[in-house]
Chain A
């Protein structure tokens, strides 16, 4: 498929979409699946909201009031005791890989253990879906499975006199969904990593897979636990593993700094989660989901007691989400997480790390209702969630526009996408948020793994200005086509799975009767346009134009020649690759290291997965339900999915078609802008940037965007510098006040005393004896004196 064909395809696609009269003739094989959805992809998605329409009508005190809450009580069932193996399988891999890392055993075994155990977990997740799914969807009752006693304390008979947090599983819709995509994606990413990390076979191969296995184990603990303490255990576990993996190249100072940054930023969020759990226990006397939700459902808005200690819970939870899901003030760790090996980035961005925050928000959705914290606080809490998500989406997108490192662009795109998800939960559609998590997981894993394949093949080159025309480099065609798909999905091209899910969020926001929420929706629409621009800015620069390869020079540099000998499936760069980089490389023979079988396989599977992620929405109309929505409906997040008014209007017109036209126009505008500046006329794009940099009033735009709006520098100024000054002050105090005055005074006093009494020490034994005898004499004299004066009588 040539470059021109791709462009033609994309333009045709866009043109059809704009007209909103797409027909089955729009053709390309890639899009046949999409064609299934013709007509009303986004519209079907909102079906099943009938329940909420009722709520919306009777809601009087703002959109946080979703009417009476009802959670079906969980049913314990020990038939599912085998679920523990889902956790234990990766744990076995943790132990084996850990032992191999400890004893420095070399070889490919760690990858085998990891992929095999992840595969087992995947199989069990799927088995669980088929065994328990129908029951859940019929009875709406979550499943609890006891596993192991952990914390179980009782100090009295009363309601607040026991504390139970055992290792047990709580399976409802969202935990099942998370288990499914976490295990599937983790398996694929581990398979990819088994090839990607091969250059480290002699070094950290076992250590890498040890951390990856622990990462997935922690994530599974997080989503499967039946109480908040278990969730916290997993929460800390993924934080630790992200630290280990981001700092994997520990000899590079940047990597260790990035690892520390990620860990510390996450700790700030973890503090929020810990405090929230404490407050939940003091208010409800339990940390187990089931009894917690029953307690909340049992209370009414008028009877909310507890004041600030209840009202603080949703805000502390939001702080935790901000840390883990890189939101709002705490997002700066995620771009730096690029220091880890690329499969780790894919793992963090798609499956095991950042989605934990969204899970927490969805799981704890009952705390954002009037029943839990009263009407005013509930509304404030929800609006805060919405605004944080909205601003993060917007800020992340604007920063992504200014980056030249394609991995960083994708990192900021994750921040932006997570912003959408948080916004979705904030504006009241848990379904939209969770669906976007699901679709995003696929295409973001795909994007990172394609980026990793490029970086891997180009000796670590991450600057897309130094690469180009990769679509024509043999061996990279599949990668670039997969990246195109990922970029289309990231840009929420109409009818893509991502658009199906994102539109639900925007639709809910724009049709809200709360003015602020509508603003969030409009900012979200604008962000979609920016997203289309930066996504294709990367792809056009990388894939199109003249072939240009300037290899990087980092840890993969050794890939040049020797490693290739053993790989039969490695296609080397052909003639045009040489032609392209000849000048830059001084004639040296750099061979782009084309992806091998395992990487290609994983990319293909992920591309298929990304396309199929839209199926629940495409099939919603014919099936009568949306597959993802059914998961959310049967979870604690569901009442948050309320409030999307089925027959709402946008700008006085029918909501669905209006949103479709607006969103499509914005996305196409962003796409065309990227096409003009980065494909058709790159000189124009470069000139535009240069002239902006030369104009005093506009300089801040490209500079600010490139430097992440100087957030890092700002944090350094308000936290780093004062902390450094404080440290200097303390060091000064230590050196001169404590050491100089206090310690010296205490230390010199005995010396002074000694000098006073030293003359008594003559060295003559008799003088000492005389002193003693004199002392005894004095005592005897005193006794006699007391006796004589009648004291002793």
Chain B
């Protein structure tokens, strides 16, 4: 586990106040809920994709919050990973959306309902 203390050169921070982490986590929950509701209610594939990005960032925020709480850099490390994956995935997902759009001339996800077969 990488801790600031173990790195030596940086002065240890005081642990975050309990109120702070509650606020941060509440913000993460709100972000996640917005993303989820957006994903469930929208049919436009680009908007659905944006909603998933929101949920992603909610998770990243929670990581940062917990990392702060434990004075542990792993949380922030994980955020870097999440951002990288999200960037890669965004390229892929948008590319897919473009391809799907070319097939059906629509962005609605319902146009692809036959994939259930």
Judge whether A764 and B39 touch: CB under 8 Å.
Answer: no
Which residues on B sit within 8 Å (CB–CB) of A770? 40
Q: Which of B40, B113, B114 contacts A769 (CB 8 A)?
A: B40
The 5 residue pairs across chains A and B that have the minimum distance between CB atoms: A763-B113, A763-B116, A761-B116, A765-B109, A766-B40
A770 to B37, CA, bound (A): 9
Q: Which residue of B lies closest to A762 (CB)?
A: B116
Q: Which residue of A lies closest to B36 (CB)?
A: A773
A769 to B110, CA, bound (A): 14
Give complex CA distance A764, B40 in Å.
10
Jot down 25 A-B pairs with beta carbons below 8 A, ordered by A. Answer: A761-B116, A762-B113, A762-B116, A763-B110, A763-B112, A763-B113, A763-B114, A763-B115, A763-B116, A764-B109, A764-B110, A764-B113, A765-B48, A765-B109, A766-B39, A766-B40, A766-B41, A766-B43, A766-B109, A769-B36, A769-B39, A769-B40, A770-B40, A773-B36, A773-B40
Mask: chain A, 740-779; 1 = CB below 8 Å from B; 0 = not: 0000000000000000000001111110011001000000
Chain B: minimal CB distance from A459 (Å): 72
B16-53 residues at the A interface, CB under 8 angstroms: 36, 39-41, 43, 48
Q: Which residues of A contact B110 (CB under 8 A)?
A: 763-764
Query: For residue A769, which residues in chain B have a CB less than 8 angstroms away from its CB?
Result: 36, 39-40
In the bound assembly, the distance between CA atoms of A765 and B113 in angstroms comes to 8
* Count of CB-CB pairs between chains A and B under 8 Å: 25
A763 and B113 CA atoms in complex are apart in Å by: 4
Bound-state CA distance A763–B110 (Å) is 8
Query: Can you add 5 more A-B contacts, CB < 8 Å, to A764-B113, A766-B41?
Result: A761-B116, A763-B114, A765-B109, A766-B43, A773-B40
Chain B residues in the interface with A (C-beta under 8 A): 36, 39-41, 43, 48, 109-110, 112-116
Q: Bound state CA distance, A765 and B115, in angstroms? A: 10
**How far in angstroms is the closest Cβ of chain B from A600?**
84
| Neighbouring B residues of A762 by C-beta, 8 Å | 113, 116
Cα of A110 to Cα of B40 in the assembled complex, Å: 84
Main secondary structure of the interface of B (DSSP, over half): helix
Residue on A nearest B117 in the bound complex, by CB: A763
Contacts of B113 in A (CB 8 A): 762-764
Docked pose: A498 CA to B113 CA in angstroms: 96
- Considering only CB atoms, which chain B residue lies closest to A761 in the complex? B116
**Nearest Cβ distance between residue A62 and chain B, in whole angstroms?**
87
Interchain CA distance A343-B112 in the complex, whole Å: 79
**Least Cβ–Cβ distance between A645 and chain B, in angstroms:** 97
> Chain A residues near B114 (CB, 8 Å)?
763
**Residues of B contacting A765 in the complex (Cβ-Cβ under 8 angstroms):** 48, 109
CA distance A765 to B39 in the complex (A): 9
Q: Which residues of A contact B41 (CB under 8 A)?
A: 766
Q: In angstroms, how far is the closest chain B Cβ from the Cβ of A771?
A: 11
Alpha-carbon separation in the docked complex, A761 to B116 (Å): 6
A91 CA / B113 CA spacing, docked (Å): 73
B-chain residues with CB within 8 Å of residue A763 when the two chains form the complex: 110, 112-116
A761 and B115 alpha carbons, distance in the complex (Å): 10
- Report the separation of the CA atoms of residues A133 and B40 in the bound assembly, to the nearest whole angstrom: 102
* CA gap between A773 and B39 in the complex, in Å: 11
Q: Which residues of B contact A766 (CB under 8 A)?
A: 39-41, 43, 109
**A765 vs B111: C-alpha distance when bound (angstroms):** 11
Chain A residues 312-358 with CB under 8 Å of chain B are none
Give min CB distance, A738 to chain B, whole Å.
33
Closest B residue by C-beta to A765: B109
Chain A residues within an 8 Å CB radius of B39? 766, 769
A763→B108 CA distance, assembly (Å): 12
- Shortest Cβ distance from residue B112 to the other chain A in the assembled complex, whole angstroms: 7
Q: How distant is B54 from chain A, measured CB to nearest CB, in Å?
A: 13
Shortest CB distance B36–A (Å): 6
Distance of B98 from chain A, by nearest CB (Å): 18
B17 to chain A, nearest CB (A): 23
Among A761, A763, A773, the one with the most B-chain Cβ atoms within 10 Å of its Cβ is: A763
Q: Looking across the interface, which residue of chain B has its beta carbon closest to that of A773?
A: B36
**Whole-angstrom distance between the Cβ of A371 and the nearest chain B Cβ:** 79
Q: Given the complex, which residues of B lie within 8 Å of A761, measured CB to CB?
A: 116
* Closest A residue to B112 using CB positions: A763
In the bound complex, what is the Cα–Cα distance between A108 and B99 (angstroms)?
73
B48: chain A residues within 8 A (beta carbon): 765
Closest Cβ–Cβ distance, residue B81 to chain A (whole Å)? 22
Q: How far is the CB of A91 from chain B (nearest CB, A)?
A: 65
Q: CA–CA, A617 to B36, complex, Å?
A: 110
Q: How far is the CA of A669 from the CA of B116 in the complex (A)?
A: 96
B42, closest chain A residue (CB): A766
- Residue on A nearest B41 in the bound complex, by CB: A766
Contacts of B43 in A (CB 8 A): 766
> With a CB–CB cut-off of 8 A, which chain A residues contact B115?
763
- Distance, CA A752 to CA B32, complexed state (A): 38
A773–B113 Cα distance when bound, in Å, is 20
Report the Cα distance A546→B116, complex, angstroms: 93
| Nearest opposing residue in chain B for A766, CB measure | B40
Interface residues in A269-316 (C-beta closer than 8 Å to B): none
Of B40, B112, B114, B115, most buried by chain A (CB within 10 Å of CB) is B40
Q: Which of A764, A765, A770, A773 has the most CB of B within 10 A?
A: A765
Distance from B115 Cβ to chain A, minimum over Cβ atoms (Å):
6
Minimum CB distance partner of B37 in chain A: A773
Distance in Å: Cβ of B66 to nearest Cβ of chain A: 17
- Measured in the bound complex, the distance between the Cα atoms of B39 and A769 in whole Å is 8
**Nearest chain A CB to B87 CB, angstrom units:** 23
Chain A residue at minimal CB-CB distance from B113:
A763
Chain B residues positioned under 8 Å from A764 (CB to CB): 109-110, 113
CB distance from A426 to the nearest CB of B (A): 80
A762 to B116, CA, bound (A): 7
B40 — which chain A residues lie within 8 A by C-beta? 766, 769-770, 773
A769 to B109, CA, bound (A): 13
What chain A residues lie within 8 Å of B109 (beta carbons)? 764-766
CA distance A765 to B47 in the complex (A): 13
Nearest-neighbour CB distance to chain B for A499, whole angstroms, equals 92
Determine the distance from Cα of A765 to Cα of B110 in the docked complex, in whole angstroms. Answer: 8
Task: Please name all residues of chain A whose beta carbon is closer than 8 Å to the beta carbon of B36 when the two chains form the complex.
Answer: 769, 773
A773 to B115, CA, bound (A): 21
Residue on A with the closest CB to B109?
A765
- Give Cα A764–Cα B112 distance, bound, in whole angstroms: 8
Q: How far is the CB of B50 from chain A (nearest CB, A)?
A: 14
How close is B70's CB to chain A, nearest CB, in angstroms?
A: 20
Which chain B residue has the least Cβ–Cβ distance from A760?
Answer: B116
Nearest neighbor of B115 in chain A, beta-carbon distance: A763
Distance, CA A553 to CA B115, complexed state (A): 71
A453-B67 Cα distance, complex, nearest whole Å: 100
* Alpha-carbon gap, A770 to B39, bound state (A): 9
Residues of A within 8 A of B116 (CB): 761-763
A617 to B49, CA, bound (A): 107
- Give Cα A773–Cα B55 distance, bound, in whole angstroms: 12
Task: With both chains docked as a complex, state the minimum distance between the C-beta of A510 and any C-beta of chain B, in angstroms.
Answer: 93
Mask, A73-106, CB within 8 Å of B = 1, is: 0000000000000000000000000000000000
Q: Which residues of B contact A773 (CB under 8 A)?
A: 36, 40
The listed residue with most A CB atoms (<10 A of its CB), out of B110, B112, B114, B116, is B116
CA distance A761 to B48 in the complex (A): 19
Min C-beta distance of A110 to chain B, whole Å: 66
A726 to chain B, nearest CB (A): 48
A86 to B80, CA, bound (A): 78
Distance (whole angstroms) from the CB of A760 to the closest CB of chain B: 10
A769 to B48, CA, bound (A): 11
**Least CB distance, B107 to chain A, in whole angstroms:** 13
Query: CA of A770 to CA of B114 in the docked complex: distance in angstroms?
Result: 19
Cα distance, A240 to B100, chains bound together (Å): 67
Q: How far is the CB of A650 from chain B (nearest CB, A)?
A: 97
A773 to B114, CA, bound (A): 23
Interchain CA distance A765-B108 in the complex, whole Å:
11
